[in-house]
Amino acid sequence: MCSREICKRFSKFNFTFLISFWAFLASEMASSIMSKRWVLRQAFEGLPKREDFELVEKKLPSLQDGQITIETLYLSVDPYMRKMFEPLEKCYVTSQLVPPYTMNGMSVGKVIASKNDHFQVGDLVTSNAGWISLANINPEEKVKNVQKLPLIKVSN
């Protein structure tokens, strides 16, 4: 076998190996991404205290077909939320969740990964995924209320 043929075979093997190794590394990195979420630990009266909330880190699951990964840029803190923090017996909100739970609310985020034909990386979206740094969500689910935001040019 001539040295040219050996080089061809080695290059082909090397290229295939590198592609496989890169795919493995990418999947390992993606599966080890941590998401942060604010959890209401307990209902409270009066002013909120630091111990009423907890910042929890959790491994982000693998992105599934049809899903997008959103990185939160802005969170909403709205007046109606105040009633959600009160003890259940004092709250008039009938859909109140019992703590502990991830804080709910609307957010503006950027798509950082997509396995959905309708959303591209870089799209800006609104969703009600809650107070979470990263989320894998299915935009088709009505619960998440994902909408693309139009790009708005700001002029000076």
Percent residues over pLDDT 90 in the chain: 24
Summarised one tens digit per residue, pLDDT across range 84-104 is 666 666 655 555 567 787 888
Looking at residue 20, its pLDDT comes to 57
Greater pLDDT, 129 or 136 = 136
* Per-residue DSSP letter, 141: -
Taking the whole predicted model, whether its pTM rises above 0.75 is answered as no
Is it the case that residue 21 has pLDDT exceeding 70? no
- Tell me how far apart the 2 most distant CA atoms of the chain are, in Å: 85
Q: How many other CB atoms are there within 10 angstroms of residue 35's CB atom?
A: 18
Is it the case that residue 57 has pLDDT exceeding 80? yes
Which backbone phi and psi does 26 adopt, to 5 degrees? Answer: -60, -40
The number of angstroms, rounded, from the C-alpha of 44 to the middle of its chain's C-alpha atoms is: 28
